[in-house]
């Protein structure tokens, strides 16, 4: 604790119209080791005060020109913040005058005739007060400095968190979100990113507890999410990893309520894993109709161990005008001055406003309603609210390679040499638990400088693999996906069939060919299924209104050639590019949405 | 006192009652209410009849409490919760960890 040093010798200013008093005080105070300055009346004292800058003032009351009261008042104004005690010198005995002296800013008074001992005692008492005052002043200044530093650090931290948590795809015009500054420091987190194959992964989370400890936890979450999304992992796998990490780092009682969503444009559906976040809403912006609520079926992340963790997903179909609204409990639990909470019912009212109809401005209306409901209590704003305009977010994986591949003929490839081949055979027991795509992608990227073609290659593998697994090994029929219910049935059938898979395999063969000017990657994939009628399938390609059936045309667009064997259980796709072509010339604009 | 407790005469049943806002500020008080009660066959009842509001930090406190008195083997029921609080608890799947009636 800081303390002002003791001041044995002070500068004392004696103001008295009687020379004898000035003389006496000068002698006595001088003997006590102080430096003495004198003035003969109040006006003189005020005039000289700033120049002398004394530590203490002895002030007579009755003086010509300006009396002691007035002088004391003016001196108080001059010193401002600094503590300079004024002691009134008085022969007065009446209480009223003494009170008046104190009221005019005097700290104390001394009476004539002067007593050496009393003077000394009073000066020491004043010095004690001055030290205390100085200590308080120092602490106040330090506190102010500290406060300033903290508020500066908060600003820096806020910017930092904004960068960490709100990078990725959140800048996309199809995403609108509000996250209150308070919410950032209370551990709300919103992240979104595109997978190499074009799906959008979203995470909205809310840590239990408040303050720094909650906020810090968002950093590893963001790292895992963004890293795995870029590598092409599905949200179920990301949820498993984040859960594992949270179990490891969070103390008991702290956990992350989170909702993960994966928007698959090519399939026209979203997959959802919700652990403890209020039910998000999928709605049709054209009609205002609510199509689905994203139910919370799981424990929040970090609450149970991996062996108990349930990574199963819910699947909801989406249409072209659909939007997804997600929010934290700060929205439903926002309170008005009477202590009532906003609640889900009021949220629904916003949807049913005007008896339905277009819901283009729903997010704005909701924000307005919320602000109106809360009244002036905006200080404790602690919510995150995000809207995703699904159709606008559709991003085709880069298909710029098409230009190149169309321009190539077999004759341009006479002196090709095989660089490497690679074979994999995944049997049913592995297929049950492993998604081989991220693994294969990583290997391909390690072997050859394919990074600029990563998105295309991933898409080709993903289409080939899901076809082989779902229609080959699991023998599911695409047509089962028809209609809104069909979707859910299809994917729960897929999940069920995969979990109980007793036989079957998927084999991959990779081959890389190089000439001076052209590179080719040949991917062959074979499954244990019955195969299918290749011709019939190609016939139905023209029909674009179905929920399914977009895989093959996409493959053909990306690859130089796609060939099935007669049985239909083996596909050979050839991806081709010119040496030096980065493959990332531009974004494809055509939409996959029906 | 926003947290009160009552032990049955035979010492086999502890009721903890929380009134007002159940949030992190009750951390100490709540912990003290079950202090010393290990996993020893006692059954517990958390009475939220007087609770106006529960936040996620309080939910975390309930988990810590559950672990302290026996985890999966603990016998804990949460009673008299308002519909809003019940909804919050269900959102976090607490009905799988506690008996919520």
pLDDT at site A196: 78
- In angstroms, the CA A504 to CA A497 distance is 12
Fold of A11-138: Rossmann fold (3.40.50)
pLDDT at site A210: 67
Contact across the interface for A254 and B91, Cβ inside 8 Å? no
> Is pLDDT of A544 > 50?
no
- Of A257, A298, A343, which is closest to B56 when you measure between CB atoms? A257
State the pLDDT confidence band at A514, using cuts at 50, 70 and 90: confident
Report all structural domains of chain B as residue ranges with CATH numbers, in order of start.
Answer: 3-100 (3.30.750.24)
Q: Where in chain A is the domain with CATH 3.60.40.10?
A: 166-393
* Token couple for A268: 């026209």
**SS3 of B34, please?**
helix
The average pLDDT across A499-517 equals 89
pLDDT at site A549: 55
Q: Which residues pair with A507 in a beta bridge?
A: A425, A526
Contact across the interface for A298 and B96, Cβ inside 8 Å? no
Q: Where in chain A is the domain with CATH 3.30.565.10?
A: 401-578
Q: Count CB neighbours of A155 within 10 A.
A: 11
Q: How is the beta sheet containing B43-47 ordered, strand by strand?
A: B3-7, B13-18, B43-47, B75-79, B99-100
Q: What is the mean pLDDT of chain B?
A: 88
CATH number, span A166-393: 3.60.40.10
Q: Which residue of B has its CA nearest to A344?
A: B84
Q: What are phi and psi of A335, to 5 degrees?
A: -110, 150
- In angstroms, the CA A254 to CA A245 distance is 13
> Is pLDDT of A299 > 90?
yes
Q: Which residue of A has its CA nearest to B72?
A: A304
A274 Cα to chain B: minimum distance (Å): 9
pLDDT at site A378: 57
Contact across the interface for B64 and A253, Cβ inside 8 Å? yes
Q: pLDDT, tens digit, for every residue of B30-75?
A: 989 998 887 777 899 999 999 988 877 788 889 889 988 888 889 9
- In angstroms, the CA A276 to CA A299 distance is 6
Residues in A touching B57 (Cβ below 8 Å):
208-210, 253
Q: Count CB neighbours of A144 within 10 A.
A: 10
> Is pLDDT of A480 > 50?
yes
State the pLDDT confidence band at A64, using cuts at 50, 70 and 90: confident
State the pLDDT confidence band at A379, using cuts at 50, 70 and 90: low
Q: What is the mean pLDDT of chain A?
A: 81
- Of A208, A252, A298, which is closest to B56 when you measure between CB atoms? A208
Q: pLDDT, tens digit, for every residue of A156-214?
A: 877 777 777 666 788 888 899 988 777 777 788 899 998 877 889 999 999 887 677 77
- Of A208, A329, A341, which is closest to B60 when you measure between CB atoms? A208
- Of A207, A210, A278, which is closest to B91 when you measure between CB atoms? A278
Asked whether A187 and A210 are in contact (CB, 8 A), the reply is: yes
Residues in B touching A333 (Cβ below 8 Å):
53
- In angstroms, the CA A511 to CA A463 distance is 18
The residues, any chain, with a CB within 8 Å of residue A288's CB and separated by 6 or more, are: A351, A352, A356, A357, A358, A359, A362
B60 reaches A (C-beta below 8 A): yes
pLDDT at site A8: 66
> Is pLDDT of A428 > 50?
yes
Q: Which residues pair with B21 in a beta bridge?
A: B53
Asked whether A215 and A185 are in contact (CB, 8 A), the reply is: yes
pLDDT at site A253: 78
Residue A94 vs residue B59, higher pLDDT? B59
- Domain A401-578, CATH number (from 1.20.140.10, 3.30.565.10, 3.40.50.2300, 3.40.630.10): 3.30.565.10
* 8-state DSSP, A470: I
Contact across the interface for B91 and A329, Cβ inside 8 Å? yes
The interface residues of chain B toward chain A in range 3-32, judged by CB-CB distance below 8 A, are 24
Contact across the interface for A208 and B59, Cβ inside 8 Å? yes
The residues, any chain, with a CB within 8 Å of residue A172's CB and separated by 6 or more, are: A192, A392, A393
State the pLDDT confidence band at A481, using cuts at 50, 70 and 90: low
Residue B36 vs residue A38, higher pLDDT? A38
Phi-psi region of A513 (alpha: psi -120 to 50; beta: other; left: phi over 0): beta
Contact across the interface for B93 and A252, Cβ inside 8 Å? no
Asked whether B86 and A235 are in contact (CB, 8 A), the reply is: no
Asked whether B89 and A278 are in contact (CB, 8 A), the reply is: no
Whether residue A470 is preceded by a cis peptide bond, meaning omega within 30 degrees of 0, is no
Q: What percent of chain A has pLDDT over 70?
A: 84
The secondary element (H helix, E strand) that includes residue A527 is strand A518-527
A279 Cα to chain B: minimum distance (Å): 9
Contact across the interface for A209 and B59, Cβ inside 8 Å? no
Q: How many CB pairs under 8 A join A and B?
A: 53
The average pLDDT across A344-348 equals 86
The average pLDDT across A92-98 equals 74
State the pLDDT confidence band at A355, using cuts at 50, 70 and 90: low
* Token couple for B35: 């202090």
ipTM of the complex: 0.73
Q: Which one of A276, A297, A299, A309 would you mutate to disrupt binding with B, by most B Cβ within 10 Å of its Cβ?
A: A276
> Is pLDDT of A416 > 80?
no
pLDDT at site A232: 82
pLDDT at site A167: 64
pLDDT at site A43: 92
- In angstroms, the CA A350 to CA B84 distance is 19
Q: Where in chain A is the domain with CATH 3.40.50.2300?
A: 11-138
Q: pLDDT, tens digit, for every residue of A246-289?
A: 988 887 778 899 999 999 887 788 999 999 999 999 998 888 88
State the pLDDT confidence band at B11, using cuts at 50, 70 and 90: confident
Picking from A183, A191, A190, A189, the residue whose alpha carbon sits closest to that of residue A211 is: A183
Picking from A499, A489, A494, the residue whose alpha carbon sits closest to that of residue A476 is: A494
Q: Which residue of B has its CA nearest to A341?
A: B84
């Amino acid at each position: 604790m800081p303390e002002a040093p003791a001041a044995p010798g002070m500068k004392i200013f004696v103001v008295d119209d009687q020379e004898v008093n000035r003389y006496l005080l000068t002698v006595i105070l001088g003997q006590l080791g102080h430096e003495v300055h004198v003035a003969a009346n109040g006006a003189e004292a005020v005039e000289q005060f700033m120049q002398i800058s004394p530590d203490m003032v002895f002030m007579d009351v009755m003086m010509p020109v300006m009396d002691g009261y007035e002088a004391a008042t003016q001196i108080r104004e001059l010193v401002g913040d600094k503590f300079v005690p004024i002691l009134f010198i008085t022969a007065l005995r009446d209480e009223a005058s003494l009170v008046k002296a104190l009221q005019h800013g005097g700290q104390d008074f001394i009476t004539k005739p002067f007593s050496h001992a009393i003077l000394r005692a009073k000066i020491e008492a004043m010095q004690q007060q001055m030290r205390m005052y100085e200590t308080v002043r120092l602490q106040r200044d330090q506190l102010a400095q500290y406060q300033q530093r903290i508020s500066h650090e908060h600003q820096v931290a806020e910017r930092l968190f904004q960068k960490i948590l709100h990078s990725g795809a959140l800048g996309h015009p199809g995403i609108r979100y509000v996250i209150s500054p308070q919410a950032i420091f209370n551990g709300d987190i919103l992240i979104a990113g595109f997978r190499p194959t074009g799906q959008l992964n979203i995470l909205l989370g809310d840590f239990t507890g408040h303050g720094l400890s909650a906020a810090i936890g968002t950093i590893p979450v963001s790292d895992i999410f963004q890293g795995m999304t870029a590598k092409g992992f599905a949200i179920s796998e990301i949820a498993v990893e984040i859960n594992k990490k949270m179990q490891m780092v969070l103390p008991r009682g702290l956990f992350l309520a989170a909702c993960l969503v994966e928007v698959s444009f090519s399939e026209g559906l979203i997959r959802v894993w919700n652990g403890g976040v209020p039910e998000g809403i999928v709605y049709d912006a054209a009609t205002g109709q609510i199509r689905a609520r994203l139910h919370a079926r799981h424990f929040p992340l970090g609450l149970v161990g991996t062996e108990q963790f349930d990574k199963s997903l819910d699947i909801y179909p989406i249409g072209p005008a659909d939007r997804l609204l997600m929010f934290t409990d700060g929205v439903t639990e926002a309170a008005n001055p009477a202590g009532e909470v906003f609640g889900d019912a009021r949220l629904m009212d916003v949807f049913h406003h005007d008896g339905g109809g277009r819901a283009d401005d729903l997010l704005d209306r909701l924000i307005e309603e919320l602000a109106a409901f809360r009244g002036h209590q905006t200080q404790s704003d602690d919510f995150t609210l995000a809207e995703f305009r699904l159709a606008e977010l559709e991003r085709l994986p880069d298909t710029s390679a098409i230009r190149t591949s169309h321009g190539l003929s077999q004759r341009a490839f006479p002196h090709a040499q095989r660089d490497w081949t690679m074979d994999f055979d995944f049997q049913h027991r592995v297929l049950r638990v492993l998604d081989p795509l991220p693994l294969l992608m990583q290997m391909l990227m390690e072997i050859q400088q394919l990074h600029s073609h990563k998105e295309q290659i991933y898409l080709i593998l993903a289409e080939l693999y899901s076809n082989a697994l779902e229609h080959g090994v699991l023998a599911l029929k695409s047509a089962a996906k028809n209609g809104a219910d069909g979707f859910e049935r299809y994917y729960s059938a897929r999940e069920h069939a995969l979990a109980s898979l007793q036989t079957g395999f998927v084999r991959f063969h990779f081959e890389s060919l190089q000439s001076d000017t052209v590179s080719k990657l040949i991917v062959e994939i074979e499954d244990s299924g019955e195969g299918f009628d290749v011709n019939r399938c190609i016939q139905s390609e023209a029909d674009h209104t179905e929920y399914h059936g977009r895989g093959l045309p996409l493959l053909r667009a990306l690859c130089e050639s796609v060939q099935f064997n007669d049985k239909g259980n083996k596909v050979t796709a050839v991806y081709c590019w010119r040496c030096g072509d980065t493959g990332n010339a531009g974004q494809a604009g055509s939409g996959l949405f029906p | 006192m926003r947290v009160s407790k009552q032990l049955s005469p035979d010492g086999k049943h502890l009721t903890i009652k929380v009134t007002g806002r159940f949030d992190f500020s009750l951390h100490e008080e709540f912990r003290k209410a079950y202090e010393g009660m290990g996993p020893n066959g006692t059954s517990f009842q958390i009475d939220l009849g007087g609770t106006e509001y529960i936040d996620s930090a309080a939910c975390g406190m309930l988990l810590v409490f559950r672990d302290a008195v026996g985890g999966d083997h603990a016998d804990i029921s949460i009673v008299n919760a308002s519909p809003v609080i019940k909804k919050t608890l269900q959102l976090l799947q607490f009905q799988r960890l506690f008996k919520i009636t």
